[in-house]
Amino acid sequence: MKKKLFSLLSKEISMKRIREQTVRLHSLEKSVCHRDFRKSTQYCEELLREAGLREVKRYALSADGKTAYMDCVMPQAWDRTGRCFVRVESPSLPEKDRMLADTDAEPLCGGIWSAPTPKGGIDCEIVDFEALPDKAAPDVKGKLVLVTNYNQKDYRLLTDAGASGLLICDLRAAKDYPDFIRWGNGIGFQGWYHTADDKRNVIFHLTPRKTFFLRELLSKGPVRAHAEMNTRIYDGEIYTVTGILPGTEPEEITLFAHLYEPFLPDDSAGAVCSAEICRALRRLVDNGKLPPLRKTVRVVFSMELFGFSEYLLDRERNRRTLYVMSMDSICHKKAPGKNAVRTSLRRTADCTPFFSDLMLRDLLKQNTPHISFREDYGNFSDDTFCSDPMIGIPSNWLVSSPPIASYHHNTGPQFMDADWDMAHDISAIAATLFATLATGGKEIFADLGKTIFRLAEKELKEQLRKIRGEWRSGRLDSHDAAGKACFLTEVQEKRVLSVNRFLPANAPLYKGGQIREFRELCAAALGKIKCPAFRDLSAEESRAANRIVIRLFPGIPHSFARIPVPERYAAQPFCEALIYGFFDGKRTLLDAIRCVEYDTGRKFGDAEIKKALEQLSILERCGYVKISKVHKTTPAELEKELRALGVARGDKVVIHTAFSALGDFKGGPEAFCETCMKLIGKLGVILMPTFNFYTHDRSSGVYDPDRTPSYTGAASEAFRKRKDVYRSLDPSHPVCAWGKDALEYVRNHHKVPTMDADSPLGLLERNGGKVLLISCPGANTFMHVVETTNQVRCLGQRMEEYKLKLRSGKIVPARTWAWRDGICPAYNPSKIYDFMRRKGTLKERMFRNAHLMLFDMSDYRKAYETFLFSEKTGCRHCKIRPRKNAFTVKSDWDEKKHCLKKTAAYVGDCESREGNP
C-alpha cells in the first residue's frame, strides 16, 4: 500500500535538517526553566513558517497552579536562578566525592518544581528512608532524606513530617547508567504536578553511583551535608503553538508533539519532524507531484497532556478534526537485547475505532521492513487521549520502544540521544499516511475501503480463532468468549465503517452500521461456543452490573481538582484509564470492565472492581460523573420469581444471598427478609448463616450473639438484627432461625460439632429442608454437613476455642470446628450442580442478574457424596487435615459415641434475647 508515495516522501524529507533543527530546539528548552520557553516556542513558530504553514500562532496558557483544563491543573512556572548543589560536610573526603549533586555538572539534578532553600542554603543530617525504623511516622524533621523508591504517598508523608528535602535516585538503570540521573517531572502530591494548594519541598536527583557511595557513608555513621537550591516559583505562562497547511475542505488531520522536556527524542525531534512532514507535503503539492490538499493538515505543539487538554476544549474544532497522530518519542535509540523491537504501533482506542491502525501496519511492513514493531492496544496516553469518545478524535502513536521502566527519562544515551535514521523513516511513514488522508478523493477512499475491509476481515478471522482456542483451553468461559467475539466483531466493523468519514455523506462505503460478512463470521464462531443458560456473578460484579456511569465532561480525571484537599490526595486513578471510554451512558460498569478486559487481555478481580466502585462514588459526589441504577427490584417482583422457582408456603429453607445481585431492592435487605418470611409463612422455617468466620474484632474480641455482626452479606445481617429470630452460640459459624420451632434449630448448636447432624442445618435436613441460593452457588454451607456426617478427616470437630459473651454478661469459652488446612479436591460446585441437573433435582431461574437455585438437601447430599466417595478426587486418599493455630485445642467430642466428653467449654442453655417469642 502506497509504496511509491512513501518513496517520494522519503526522498523529500531531510534527515540532516531534522537533526540540525532538533539540536537547536533542544538547546533552547533543555533547561526546563519557564523563562526559556518563550524563546523555544518562538523558534517553533519560525519552524512552521519556514515549512510553509499558514495561520501560525502562539498563545499563552496560565501556569498558576490553579487553572484547570479538563481535569489538569496547570503547574506554576519554575526557574533555576543559580547553582544548586548538595555537598557532604566531611573535610577528609576529596572535593569531587563530597559533591552528591551539582547543577553546574548536571543541570537536571536540581529537580523541576523544587522549592528553594533559604538564602545561603541549609546544613542538616542525611538519613536513608529505607533504613528508618518507622516509615509510617518517620523522624525526618529538618533532615535530607535519601529515597530510592519514590512515590507520591511517601513524598507527601516526608514533606508533612518536616523533611528539609529529598535526594531521589531511581536505581533501575544503575547497572547500565551508574553516572546518570532520572529526570523526574512528575513530582507532585496528586496527578503529576503541584497545585497552588500543595506544600513544596527541595528535590535533588542523584546518580546511582553517588547513591551507593552515600549509603556506604551512612553505614559508617551520621552524615551531614550542605544543600543549596536556588529556584523561583511564580505565576507565569506556558505556550501552545499551532499552524496549518490549508485544504479545500474544512476537516482537519493533525500532528501532535509536546514541548518542554529536556531530551532530544522526547520530544524536540517530534516537533521538528512534524514541521518537516508538512514541509515535504507542501513542496510536493507545489511541484505538482501530489494533488492539492483536500483536508487541512494541522500541527499542534504544547505541554504534554495539560496543554493538549486546553487545545481539545474547542468542541467545534474537535468535530471537524478527523484524526490525530502523536509524534512523541518516535526516535529513541534501540533498546539493548537482540530481540528488542524498534517501535510500537499504538492503535486507536477500541472505543473509537479507526482504519489507520490497518494502514499503518501495512505501511510499516511494506516500506520499512528493517523496523521491527509490535502492536499495542489503544489507550488514553498523554498525547492520544483525544480518542476519548467525549472528544471523539481517533489517534495513533508510533513510539520507539526502550524498556520504559528502566530508562524512561534517564539522562543516559539510551533515552537522551536520538536515532536520526529512525526519525527520518517514521516521519516518512507518517507523511505517507497524511498524504493519503489529506489528498484522497472519493475514488481513492472507495478503493482504500475495500483494502481495509480485506485486512479487517483477515484480522477478525484470526481473533475469532484465538477466542475459540482460549475457550477450549478454559482460559475464557463461554460467556466471556461470546462477549469478546461480539466486542471484537463490532470494533472491526466500526474500523471499516470509519472510512465513510472521508467519503461524501450520500455515498458511504457500507450502509446500516453493520457489515454482514463480519456478523456471519461472528455467528459461526458463536455457534461453536455453547453458553449455559445461567451465569453467576460475584457480589462486586453484581454491583457493577447494576450501575451505569454517565460522564459529565470530557477528559480523564487526573489532578482530581474537584475533590477538596486533603481528601484529594487519597483519590486513586483507575488502573486502566481506558475504561472511561466505555462509559457511554448505556453500558453498565461491568460491561465497561469487560470491554477493557477484552481489549487488554487482563482480568479484573473483585478487589479491583470494589476499588472502582469506591472511586466512582467519590467522583460522583464531586461532580465528575453521575451513576444510575439499572434494576429497581420490588418485593412483589422477587416474591413472584421465588414462587415460580418453587418456593412455597410452609417450606423449611436455608437462604444464602448475594444481595447485590438483586439490583436496587426497594426497602433494602430488611424488605428482602420480610418478603421471604411472607412467602414461607410462620408454619415454615427460615435459616440464614450469620457467620463471623472466627472474627470478633467488632465485638471486643469475643463472640457476642447480640453484637457480633454477620460477615455473610447484607441480608443475613438484617436478618440477625430482627427481634423475632434466634441466633446460635457457635462462636465462628452461628446460624439464625425464624419460623415454626425456630429456637429448637439453634438452641444446642454450641453443644455439638458445628456442621453435625444435630446442628441447625443438620436438623433442617432431617425435617425435609431445602436450600435457596441467590447468585452464590459456592456458598452452600450444607455441603459441610454432608462432609461432617461422612466423617471427613480434614475438618476438626470442636478443635478451636474462642470467648463467648452470654446475655448475662459473663464471658465463657466456646468451641467450634477447625477449618481444613487446604483446598478440598472433591468439592467442585459446577460438577455437583451439573450432576443434579442431569438428575432433574435442581430448580433454576434467572431473575435479571440473579441466578436463583432451589433444591432439597437430601438431593444435594446424594450428588456431593458421589464426589466425596470418588476414587480419583474423594476423601479416601486425601491428606488434608485440620489447621492449627493459637486457638487450637484438643477436641472434646467423642466421634464413636457421638457425644460430648468432659469439657470446660460452655454447654449450658441458649439464652433467649429479650423480645423473642
Question: What pLDDT, on a 0 to 100 scale, did the predictor assign at position 340?
Answer: 81
* Residue bearing the bigger pLDDT, 610 or 3: 610
Contact status, residue 302 vs residue 308, Cβ threshold 8 Å:
yes
Is residue 910 pLDDT above 90, yes or no? Answer: no
User: Where is average pLDDT lowest: 178-192, 454-468, 730-744?
Assistant: 178-192
* Residue bearing the bigger pLDDT, 785 or 510: 785
Tell me the average pLDDT across 228-246. Answer: 98
List pLDDT tens digits, range 366-399.
Answer: 999 999 999 999 999 988 999 999 999 999 999 9
* Residue bearing the bigger pLDDT, 773 or 507: 773
User: DSSP per residue over 141-206, as a string?
Assistant: TT-EEEESS--HHHHHHHHHTT-SEEEE--GGGTTT-TT--B-----SSSSSS--TTS----EEE-
Q: How far apart are the first and last CA of the chain?
A: 84
**908 confidence band (pLDDT: 50, 70, 90):** very high
Is residue 402 pLDDT above 70, yes or no? Answer: no
**916 confidence band (pLDDT: 50, 70, 90):** very low
Is residue 100 pLDDT above 70, yes or no? Answer: yes
Distances (CA, A) of 550 to 101, 297, 378, 560, 585: 49, 33, 22, 17, 5
List pLDDT tens digits, range 819-869.
Answer: 999 999 999 999 999 999 999 999 999 999 999 999 999 999 999 999 999
Q: Which residues are 847's β-sheet partners?
A: 850
Is residue 914 pLDDT above 70, yes or no? Answer: no
Question: What pLDDT, on a 0 to 100 scale, did the predictor assign at position 404?
Answer: 60
356-367 and 442-473 helices, crossing angle to 10°: 90
Q: Quick one: DSSP state of residue 329?
A: T
Listed residue (828, 836, 831) closest to 853, CA to CA: 836
Q: Where are the beta strands (DSSP E) in 304-407?
A: 321-326, 343-346, 373-376, 395-400
Tell me the average pLDDT across 111-116. Answer: 96
**337 confidence band (pLDDT: 50, 70, 90):** confident
Note every long-range contact of 561-568, with CB atoms under 8 Å and residues 24 or more positions apart, other chains counting. 561/68, 561/71, 561/73, 561/195, 562/71, 562/622, 562/623, 562/624, 563/618, 563/622, 565/197, 565/198, 567/618, 568/190
**699 confidence band (pLDDT: 50, 70, 90):** low
Listed residue (206, 202, 72, 209) closest to 144, CA to CA: 202
Is residue 403 pLDDT above 70, yes or no? Answer: no
Question: What pLDDT, on a 0 to 100 scale, did the predictor assign at position 694?
Answer: 87
Q: Where are the beta strands (DSSP E) in 35-89?
A: 54-63, 68-69, 72-73, 77-80, 85-88
User: Where is average pLDDT lowest: 428-442, 519-533, 762-776?
Assistant: 519-533
The CB-side HSE value for 830 (13 A sphere, CA atoms) comes to: 5
Would you call 496 helix, strand, or coil by DSSP? helix
Tell me the average pLDDT across 706-722. Answer: 96
- Cβ neighbors of 46 (< 8 A, separation 6 or more) are none
List pLDDT tens digits, range 279-328.
Answer: 999 999 999 999 999 999 999 999 999 999 999 999 999 999 999 999 99
What are 656's three cell numbers? Answer: 444464602
In whole angstroms, what is the distance from residue 789 CA to residue 129 CA?
56
Tell me the average pLDDT across 155-163. Answer: 95
Listed residue (859, 838, 849) closest to 641, CA to CA: 849
Total residue count of the chain as it appears in this document? 917
Question: What pLDDT, on a 0 to 100 scale, did the predictor assign at position 917?
Answer: 34
Q: What is the arrangement of strands in the sheet containing 321-326, beginning at the earlier edge strand? A: 54-63, 236-245, 296-303, 252-259, 321-326, 395-400, 343-346, 373-376
Is residue 655 pLDDT above 50, yes or no? Answer: yes
Question: What pLDDT, on a 0 to 100 scale, did the predictor assign at position 528?
Answer: 86
Q: Please state, as a whole number, how many other Cβ atoms lie within 10 Å of the Cβ of residue 681.
A: 13
Question: What pLDDT, on a 0 to 100 scale, did the predictor assign at position 913?
Answer: 53
Q: What percent of the chain has pLDDT over 70?
A: 98
125: phi then psi, degrees, rounded to nearest 5? -80, 150
**605 confidence band (pLDDT: 50, 70, 90):** very high
Q: What share of the chain is helix, strand, coil (3-state, %, to 5)?
A: 40, 20, 40
What are 784's three cell numbers? Answer: 459441610
Is residue 405 pLDDT above 70, yes or no? Answer: no
Is residue 511 pLDDT above 80, yes or no? Answer: no
Q: Mean pLDDT over all residues of the chain?
A: 94
Question: What pLDDT, on a 0 to 100 scale, did the predictor assign at position 915?
Answer: 37
Tell me the average pLDDT across 770-776. Answer: 96
Tell me the average pLDDT across 6-23. Answer: 97
In whole angstroms, what is the distance from residue 834 CA to residue 830 CA?
6
- The answer, yes or no, to whether the previous bond of 566 is cis (omega within 30 of 0) is yes
**150 confidence band (pLDDT: 50, 70, 90):** confident
Kindly calculate the radius of gyration of the chain based on its CA atoms and give it in whole angstroms. 34
Question: What pLDDT, on a 0 to 100 scale, did the predictor assign at position 631?
Answer: 85
Indicate the pTM of the whole model.
0.88
Is residue 818 pLDDT above 70, yes or no? Answer: yes
